Amino acid sequence: MSFVLNPERDEKLREILERYPNKMAACIPVMQLAQDQTGWVSPEVTDWVAETLDLSTAHVLGVATFYSLFNTEPVGQHQVWVCRTLSCALNGADTVLAHCEKRLGIRCGQTTKDGKVTLRTAECLASCGSGPMMQVDRAYHENLTLEQVDVILDRLTADSTPD
């Protein structure tokens, strides 16, 4: 089964390609566009990006595996990233991560059995003055307490908006 963008994203693809001096330069935004549709960069998406941009599949796969913003395996409906950089670690990131693992019943890198949440760590989420912090989908949650983490996780596992 081959990958095809939906009509709205196909229009966005044209806009992306017009902004870049060559097709290779558009690799990351085109991969993001496809991942937004599917949730991950599947082998079909990799092939589609390579063909669309006249790149080798090895190049596209290299980009997908180098950047943590790309999912090379299926992920949960929500992604929780706990920052583990020094400033967050000094402020309790390890405790936040352990609490998330216990609450969700999974280890870091895994997805809950119901497919709602994938738990990950990030080397830096660029919020060093407000740790511990985590990113839930695209929203930042800073200066976290375990009580705040519980509220966030309750919302995620109840299928509501994480903010």
Residue 85 phi/psi, 5° resolution? -65, 165
CATH topology for 7-66? Arc Repressor Mutant, subunit A (1.10.10)
Residues of the chain with CATH 3.40.30.10: 78-157
Count the residues in the chain: 163
- Note the pTM of the prediction, 2 decimals: 0.78
Residues of the chain with CATH 1.10.10.1590: 7-66
Look at residues 101, 144, 139 and name the one whose alpha carbon lies nearest to residue 120.
Answer: 101
pLDDT tens for the chain, 163 residues long, are 689 999 999 999 999 999 999 999 999 999 999 999 999 999 999 999 999 999 999 999 999 999 988 999 999 999 999 999 999 999 999 999 999 999 999 999 999 999 999 999 998 999 999 999 999 998 999 999 999 999 999 999 986 455 5
CATH topology for 78-157? Glutaredoxin (3.40.30)
* Cβ-proximal residues to 110 (8 Å cutoff; 6+ apart), any chain: 118, 119
